[in-house]
Amino acid sequence: MIEETTIREALPPTAAGRVRQVLARGGAATLVVDASGMAKADAEALEQDIRQHLGAVEGISEVRVALMADKPTRRIIAVGSGKGGVGKSTLTANLAVALAATGRKVGVVDADVYGPSQVMLLDAAEQKPRANENTLIPVETDFGIRFLSMGQLIQPGKAIAWRGAMVGKALGQLMSADWGETEVLLVDMPPGTGDVQLTMIQQHRPAGAIIVTTPQDLALIDATRAIDLFNQVGVPVVGLVENMAGYVCPHCGESSDPFGQGGAEAAARALDVPFLGRVPLAMEIRVASDTGQPPAANPGPLSKPFAVIASRLAAWLDREGSR
Ligand SMILES: Nc1ncnc2c1ncn2[C@@H]1O[C@H](COP(=O)(O)OP(=O)(O)OP(=O)(O)O)[C@@H](O)[C@H]1O
Ligand SMILES: [Mg+2]
């Protein structure tokens, strides 16, 4: 029989202040060690150190170490717009890729029941999510992003006539999936201010919202409405993104502004929300998106705008996180 004090006295100095519980049963020593804030390799080294020290003690025939890590603080960022077709899904996919490239663990939820597009954008059509009891396990895409979509819950080809309650339930399943170490969950919202938006806001409390708009006045009016919605319910607006901002002609290289210029930045100023950046209207973005190759994943001029927006989101997350 070994005593708890014998175990404590035999612990290496590296374990100081980290041992939460010690149990002695027969020749087995069981320890609960708090590895909060430690890198994985350091936590593993500490475990080895403990095993070595205790293993050398006479009477200890077995060492069990349970490492306890702090729960990841996962934050939800909703990507919304007032108007459809302005590029929410394209931005979400590319922002996820660009943010993951900065070393964060990123997940994407496609909350658009009526037109789920992330399966194509993230090239995830082949993978189906598994379930553990009632909890979904997100799929891992090629870009290091975990992913779940409303589209994965719907049988292909089946008409979708879901009512509000069903939409809410499906969204709940995606949001409460086993996201593991995911730190940032980007949610690709359907357009407008309907059922999914309200369920999202009321039940899943995003840490912030990014609003996408195109430069023309009509889209900006709708963006204002989306910002109002988030403001009213106390979800901070991370900022406004202008998509399809300037058109670079693939033949002559000349840049033109089919939808106007600078409107979103001015609107952001007027509405007192940050401006996160602009993404040009480029044929390659559409073509790359259709083939599941987010431009943000490939070096080149088209990855730059997404990297800029990702760095501003990262800075916002760091600022908000330290509050
Ligand atoms: N910057 C861009 N340059 C060229 N094409 C773009 C750009 N952004 C988006 N698109 C294209 O515009 C179309 C609509 O984009 P997307 O699906 O991302 O918009 P959305 O806001 O998510 O639409 P919905 O409201 O239907 O969900 C897609 O075909 C996409 O490839
Ligand atoms: Mg979309």
Residue 81 phi/psi, 5° resolution? -160, 165
pLDDT at 67: 87
Pairing label, strands 237-248, 184-188: unpaired
pLDDT at 159: 62
CA nearest neighbour of 81 among 205, 196, 203, 247: 196
Report the distance separating Cα 290 and Cα 275, nearest Å: 27
For residue 179, give the 3-state DSSP assignment.
coil
What class, spelled out in words, does domain 75-321 have in CATH?
Answer: alpha beta
Annotated binding site for ATP: 82-89
Give ∠ CA 300-83-239 in degrees, rounded to 5.
60
For residue 114, give the 3-state DSSP assignment.
coil
Which ligand 1 atom is nearest residue 290's CA? Answer: 31
pLDDT at 53: 97
Torsion of CA 115, 119, 125, 129, to 10 degrees: -100
50 CA from centroid of ligand 2 (Å): 51
What class, spelled out in words, does domain 4-68 have in CATH?
Answer: alpha beta
pLDDT at 216: 80
pLDDT at 62: 94
Sign of the alpha-carbon dihedral angle for 83, 278, 93, 171: negative
Surface-to-core class of residue 49, CB atoms within 10 Å of its CB (0-12 exposed, 13-18 middle, 19+ buried): middle
Which ligand 1 atom is nearest residue 212's CA? Answer: 21
List all residues whose CB is within 6 A of at least one atom of ligand 1. Answer: 81, 84-90, 112, 115, 117, 191, 243-244, 279, 281-282, 285-286, 289
Residue with tokens 């401006």: 275
pLDDT at 192: 75
Whether the predicted model's global pTM rises above the 0.85 cut = no
Domain boundaries, the chain: 4-68, 75-321
pLDDT at 321: 63
Buried b (16+ CB within 10 A) or exposed e, 178-206: ebeebbbbbbbbbbbbebbbebbbeebeb
E strand spans, the chain:
19-25, 28-34, 62-68, 75-80, 106-110, 130-132, 135-137, 139-140, 146-149, 184-188, 208-213, 237-248, 255-256, 275-281
Mean pLDDT per 10-residue section of the chain, whose length is 323 residues: 92 93 92 86 93 95 88 86 91 97 95 83 87 90 92 70 78 92 94 80 91 84 88 92 85 76 85 94 90 91 95 93 53
CA 147 to chain centroid, in Å, comes to 9
